[in-house]
Amino acid sequence: MRIRVTTRADLYEQRKQQHSGRGYRIEDERPIPVNGLRSFIAVSEIPNSDRVSDLVAEALNGMTR
């Protein structure tokens, strides 16, 4: 999953650290503020097929979240 994170320039480093701490890889950083905003793309490396199969197994086994 890829998401673009746009934030105020003064909160940019904090937001990058938050996303990195959650396991996202940071790409396509925009280092120069435009109208006071900076952005980056956060990429999650969760394989979709594994997640879907986990959900199906939970449903078949009657497990709840």
Banded model confidence at residue 60, pLDDT cuts 50, 70, 90: confident
Sequence-separated (6 or more) residues with CB below 8 Å from residue 40: 4, 5, 12, 16, 19, 26, 27, 28, 29, 30
pTM of the predicted model as reported, rounded to 2 decimal places? 0.66
Domain with 10 in it: 2-61
Instruction: Tell me the three state secondary structure of residue 11.
Output: helix
Q: Which residue has the tokens 């120069």?
A: 32
Model pLDDT for residues 3-26, shown as the tens digit of each residue: 999 999 999 999 999 999 998 999
For the record, the structure tokens of 30 come out as 């925009």
Q: CA–CA separation, 40 vs 25, rounded Å?
A: 10
Number of domains comprising the chain = 1
Which sign does the torsion angle of CA 63, 48, 16, 5 carry? negative
